[in-house]
Amino acid sequence: MKTRAKIKDIFVSDISFEATEEDIHKLFSVCGTVRSINMVTDSRSGQFKGVAFVCMSNAAETREAINMLDGTRLVDRCISVSAAKTKEEMKTEAPVEIVEKRTRRRRVPKGRKKVR
């Protein structure tokens, strides 16, 4: 018999840059107890990137938050809510194929021809 994985972490994207940790906490506390919130910031500038990870207290609350809050409006944008992927799941995904960019030939300007 297969057991379902107990998901406790939620990935939230498309968050408004004006949103605060308190705004996210208020929104997700409707579905249950919020254990932690990790708002992702740029390492160089320290600016918020618009994504966050929310950890709920149990799997049932996590499923409820994903089903209920996906597409909800927070501050001035609709957020996307999904289950966070583990490192193993990220490794097993198919790599994105990189398409080589065609280079253009430089156009040689027309000018006077040398007379020999």
Per domain, the residue ranges of the chain are: 9-86
Which residues face 38 on adjacent strands?
53
**pLDDT at residue 108, as a whole number:** 63
- C-alpha 87/C-alpha 102 separation (Å) is 34
Helix axes 59-69, 21-28, angle to 10 degrees: 100
Question: Along the 116 residues of the chain, how does pLDDT read in single tens digits?
Answer: 333 556 779 999 999 999 999 999 999 999 999 999 999 999 999 999 999 999 999 999 999 999 999 999 999 899 999 999 887 877 787 666 666 666 666 666 676 665 66
Show the beta-strand stretches assigned E in the chain. Answer: 9-13, 34-41, 48-56, 73-74, 77-78, 80-83
- C-alpha 71/C-alpha 44 separation (Å) is 30
What's the topology of domain 9-86? Alpha-Beta Plaits (3.30.70)
